[in-house]
Amino acid sequence: MSRLLTIAAAQMGPVARAETRKQVVERLLAMLHEAADRGAELVVFPELALTTFFPRWDLPDAELLGFFEREMPSAETAPLFDAAERLGVGFHLGYAELTPDGHRYNTAMLVERDGSIVAKYRKVHLPGHEEPEPWRPFQHLERRYFEPGPETFRARRAFGGVVGVAICNDRRWPETYRVLGLQGVELVCIGYNTPIHYAPDPGQDRLAAFHNNLVMASGAYENATWVVGVAKGGLEEGVEGLCDSQIIAPSGEVVARAVTEGDEVVVAQCDLDLCNDYKRTVFDFDRYRRPEMYTAITAQRGIREPAVDDGNGDDEPGALDA
Ligand code: ING
């Protein structure tokens, strides 16, 4: 038995600060049509796909709010929604959301092939810093510009399977995939904007692509799910962003990968039933997991190290002792 879903990763090259929504939507439409021509039923666009990655600057509110969408679809994005519905293709789109009551989120929307909105997810894990830090060659002010998402990761029945959404930094945290995995997720859509230079520890720069694949392939394998990671990258306003978009099977294998630093459509036929090969064997959660052993994962946020050894070979009562 196989449940085939043809998925396109629609990677974007740089979006310039001055690029209009109309110009960006034209690029998205071109990739939507190419993906549809190649049989895609779902097209995954990146995080914050409609604008340049503006958290790299310390911006005054007047300019900052210009990067946010007050409605989705809006007049500028309606052509994308209309084309997708006409083509019978679903899509995932990341964008900066300003709600009517003034909340600001880093948001991703999942739209089914009939145009219905399946999910609207707001990024849970916000990286970077809250105050401008002039020592950095560029800022990463997501924690200043966005509020953390108020809801956990929810999988939905869509596209003939169980689908979840995460955004960028979420992909580095195993909890993201496990919360979805415990809902039986079979496909996780993840858009990202990842500067290659990581100012707090530049030694990590050379590992940007390795870490990108490591966390998504691990999340896929350990939760028996497909993962589609899609970049907006390339040299964007002077900052080099990782591309390396990829479609990853529940085995952890990369089945399709972008090879450019620009707009590029990568397509794969994904058998959602492949998830069961792992859900029913090595990752049969109900048979093998022992949540009573994992209480620390939700009981604490940061590290609590064991107390200093009292010299007689056993630690004083420490973090895990009642
Ligand atoms: N970007 C980056 C990401 O998590 C980052 C932030 C880069 C964190 C490198 C750690 C190392 O891919 C976003 N937008 O979350």
Domain residues for 61?
4-299
* 319 in a structural domain: no
The enclosing domain of 288 has a CATH number of: 3.60.110.10
Tokens of 301: 């946020």
In a domain, 172, yes or no: yes
- The verdict on whether 275 is a catalytic residue reads no
CA distance 112 to 273: 20
Ligand 1 pocket check for 194: Cβ under 6 Å: yes
Is 161 a domain residue? yes
pTM (2 decimals)?
0.96
d(CA 171, CA 191): 9
Q: Which of 97, 112, 168, 275 is catalytic?
A: 168
pLDDT in tens, 275-304: 999 999 999 999 999 999 999 999 999 999
Number of domains comprising the chain:
1
Tell me how far the alpha carbon of residue 118 lies from the centroid of ligand 1, in angstroms.
Answer: 26
Q: Coil, strand or helix: which one is 156?
A: strand
Residue 312 lies in a domain: no
Share of the chain above pLDDT 70, in %: 96
Q: How many CA atoms lie within 13 A of 57 on its CB side?
A: 13
Given pLDDT bands bounded at 50, 70 and 90, which one contains residue 316? low
Cα(291)–Cα(301) distance, rounded to whole angstroms? 17
Q: Which of 69, 97, 112, 123 is catalytic?
A: 123
219 inside domain: yes
Conformational region of residue 181, where left means phi above 0, alpha means psi within -120 to 50, and beta covers everything else: alpha
Assign 116 to helix, strand or coil.
coil
In terms of Cα–Cα distance, which of 176, 185, 181, 171 is closest to 245?
Answer: 171
As a whole number of angstroms, the distance between CA 176 and CA 164 comes to 10
Is 123 a residue of the active site? Answer: yes
Letter string b/e over residues 26-45, b meaning 16 or more CB atoms within 10 A of that residue's CB: ebbeebbbbbbeeebbbbbb
Measured CA to CA in angstroms, residue 145 lies from 44, 45, 127, 237, 256 at distances of 24, 21, 11, 19, 33
Is 227's C-beta closer than 6 angstroms to any atom of ligand 1? no
In tens, the pLDDT along 78-110 reads 999 999 999 999 999 999 999 999 999 999 999
In the predicted model, is pLDDT for residue 135 greater than 90?
A: yes
Is 246 within a domain?
yes
305 assigned to some structural domain: no
In a domain, 38, yes or no: yes
